[in-house]
Amino acid sequence: MAQDEMSPREWLYLTTPIYYVNDIPHIGHAYTTIACDVVARTSRMTGTPVFFLTGTDEHGQKVWQSAQKLNLPAKIYVDRIMPRFRDLWKFLHISNDDFIRTTEERHILGVQEALNQLWKKGDIYEGPYEGWYCMFDERFWTQKDVSDGLCPDCKRPVEQVLETNYFFKMSQYQDWLVSWYREHPDAIRPESRYNEIMGFLEKPLEDLCISRPVSRMPWGIPIPFAKDYVTYVWFDALLNYITVPLSMPGTAENLKRLWPATHVIGKDILTTHAVYWPTILHALGLEPARLIFAHGWWTVNGEKMSKSRGNAVDPVLYAERFGSDTLRYFLMREGQFGQDSDFSDSSLIQRVNADLANDLGNLLSRVVAMASRSAEDGMFRIPEGYVPSPELLQAAREILPEVPRLTLRFEFHKALGTLWTFISLLNRYVDSKAPWVLAKDPDRKHELDCVLSDLLEGIRVTAVYLAPFMPQTAIRIIESLKSSESLTGLSYQTDGAWGRLPKTLALEPVLPLFEKRNPDGSVQKEPRPARVGSPERRGEIPAPSPSGEPIPAEPLKTGESQPLTRPAKPEIDLEAFQGIELTPATVLAAEPVPKSKKLLKLTVDIGREKRTVVAGIAGSYTPGELIGKTILVLANLKPAKLMGVESQGMVLAAQTETGVSLITFDRDLKPGSEIR
């Protein structure tokens, strides 16, 4: 059954892949997760109950090797990397219902139960393996798959392996899988991906190696019937989609209620999800997924994105620079979901300026400003006898319902294009009715207020339909209109209907929703000059006032300058120095301090305990890049409250021309090691 054909009461169980923690999140991770979030939010607004799952894949050889390079236990390594994904989803306002880690006990027990079930059924056997292995994909290949010694997927060199392993009898389910896909051609989308899998299944399937010897790779879920082996990472990872509902209270009922699922993935992992996964499910007595949607990749200025090319897009940096909602909008609007798309700063800036700042932001600003001027006693009132514009009313009823319909078909670019058609209609209505002209004639005030009522209500329903894509922007619009909708309980049927604007509004002029950008991405206005030597410029925390709030630095007088270097301080003796406790500290977590653009709240391990330290380094470091760093902390500084958060120490950093540079160490050491 296709996504948009689901009955309102039927659950949507929606999943992203679980993301591999051998590296930090990239734009592809954000793309998949934002798309799922948009579908989840849209489905909830249609009345469909949703369970939205994401998480991290924390086993496997690449993770093990990454931990080995840092001389860390694998669990410590994944504990440090995982928050980068979890925190990014919070930053991007992802509304997932659960977050699974494959190192959690609930998942480990579920995987071992599935292994035992298949072992007892006879679907797993022990046997020799000789063939080719791709380290990058952590995948075995047969001789017929490999050409010129390269992996057929990633084109990296493969190595020959000869060892005894355990195998899942995947080959015996090939005929069933082909028949099932012929009966369910919409189970894989877009159509090109379905054709790709059907072509793949024309070749005989091999049995799937599902183990790794502990002697070669100890990091994984132990196989319960073979103590010298751990589970192959792909077998382990795929099972997260059922181990989560099975770990909830009322396990069987939960799985029955949620299953089958809808999986949204990148096209690079299509084979594992569309071949491995359904055969495993079938062997376990479960239906295949309802839908597997495999989207395309992002290129950068027409070139393949990669770290080696230096063109990888960091979603954290773009979200911090342009706003999380702007990034969400661009990724969903710019390309066709399912096809490859191109990411460029020029395209992003064009979308910001034309779509967001001009079409939407300027519409809100000028309509609210005109309504505020037309208000009496500070209150704008919908006039007696007001009748909505037939043109706008018809457009709202015909155009806007297409937005969720297209969204649930994963046609995000069309959905947003449709919404912007309605926004353009509102802008044309402003131009045609010319309320600034009506405002000059006191006898036409009733007509003016009717026009403004049309526009205010049009903007309100726009915010409702925009909410799944740009939740924070929708909140700002609704708050600007002094309307009463709650983003957590929005409904297309009620909130999306024309005519719910309050009869009386205490409107005030609003700040721009979006700032226009120059070609280099900078804001199109003269920035307020920062004092060269000020704590804000240096990235330091100003001394707290008695209330705990930072004291703003005094502005420089005209023509005054201050060097970046400081004058020498008075000498101290050894005893004074020994009274200072400097200690290496490992950053365990980092997050912005609410209502502050400069401060980050760090949780650090100083050896004997964990501390909270507030540091004014947000202009130089993102929370994600701090996790796992070992930095230098002044540990015996008297605690002080900064923006309501108690700081139990001070982070030490050096000033640079562009910000600050944290003091770190050139080799691994334990937190709390003596500084001398």
Q: Label residue 335 by pLDDT band (50, 70, 90).
A: confident
Least trusted range by pLDDT, from 245-254, 261-270, 458-467: 245-254
- pLDDT confidence of residue 589: 83
Domain shared by 492 and 578, yes or no: no
Domain shared by 601 and 542, yes or no: yes
Least trusted range by pLDDT, from 218-232, 455-469, 547-561: 547-561
Strands (E), 222-285: 222-223, 226-231, 262-266
Mean pLDDT of 16-40: 94
Domain region containing 497: 344-505
Domain shared by 588 and 479, yes or no: no
- Residue 482 included in any domain: yes
- pLDDT confidence of residue 328: 98
- pLDDT confidence of residue 526: 43
- Residue 295 included in any domain: no
Q: Do residues 619 and 598 make contact, with C-beta atoms less than 8 angstroms apart?
A: yes
Rounded Cα distance, 45 and 39, in Å: 10
- Residue 480 included in any domain: yes
At 465, which CATH number? 1.10.730.10
Rounded Cα distance, 158 and 139, in Å: 10
**How many domains, the chain?**
2
Domain shared by 348 and 493, yes or no: yes
- pLDDT confidence of residue 9: 55
Domain shared by 474 and 574, yes or no: no
Domain shared by 354 and 498, yes or no: yes
Q: Do residues 478 and 510 make contact, with C-beta atoms less than 8 angstroms apart?
A: no
Q: Label residue 130 by pLDDT band (50, 70, 90).
A: confident
Q: Is pLDDT at 561 greater than 50 in this prediction?
A: no
- Residue 48 included in any domain: no
At 600, which CATH number? 2.40.50.140
- pLDDT confidence of residue 566: 42
262-266, strands of its sheet edge to edge: 98-101, 50-57, 12-20, 262-266, 291-295, 188-189
- pLDDT confidence of residue 163: 86
Q: Label residue 366 by pLDDT band (50, 70, 90).
A: very high
Q: Is pLDDT at 144 greater than 80 in this prediction?
A: no
Q: How far apart are the first and last CA of the chain?
A: 68
- Residue 499 included in any domain: yes
- 212 DSSP β-pair partners: 230
Q: Is pLDDT at 368 greater than 80 in this prediction?
A: yes
Domain shared by 543 and 633, yes or no: yes
Instruction: Specify the 3-state DSSP secondary structure of 666.
Output: coil
- pLDDT confidence of residue 306: 66
Rounded Cα distance, 420 and 426, in Å: 10
- pLDDT confidence of residue 426: 97
- pLDDT confidence of residue 657: 56
According to DSSP, the β-strands at 380-381 and 504-505 are antiparallel
- pLDDT confidence of residue 197: 97
- Residue 657 included in any domain: yes
Domain shared by 498 and 379, yes or no: yes
Domain shared by 475 and 548, yes or no: no
Q: Do residues 539 and 617 make contact, with C-beta atoms less than 8 angstroms apart?
A: yes
Domain shared by 484 and 608, yes or no: no
Give percent of the chain above pLDDT 90.
Answer: 65
Domain shared by 474 and 587, yes or no: no
pLDDT tens digit sequence for 436-446: 999 999 999 99
Q: Is pLDDT at 570 greater than 70 in this prediction?
A: no
- Residue 74 included in any domain: no
Rounded Cα distance, 229 and 232, in Å: 9
- pLDDT confidence of residue 350: 95
According to DSSP, the β-strands at 640-642 and 630-634 are unpaired
More confident site: 154 or 341: 341
Q: Which two tokens stand for residue 538?
A: 């240096």
Instruction: Specify the 3-state DSSP secondary structure of 11.
Output: coil
Strands (E), 314-464: 341-343, 380-381
- Residue 111 included in any domain: no
- pLDDT confidence of residue 539: 32
- pLDDT confidence of residue 226: 95
Phi-psi region of 659 (alpha: psi -120 to 50; beta: other; left: phi over 0): left
Q: If you average pLDDT over every residue of the chain, what do you get?
A: 87
- pTM attached to this predicted model: 0.75
Q: Do residues 14 and 261 make contact, with C-beta atoms less than 8 angstroms apart?
A: yes
Domain shared by 354 and 428, yes or no: yes
Residues constituting the chain: 676
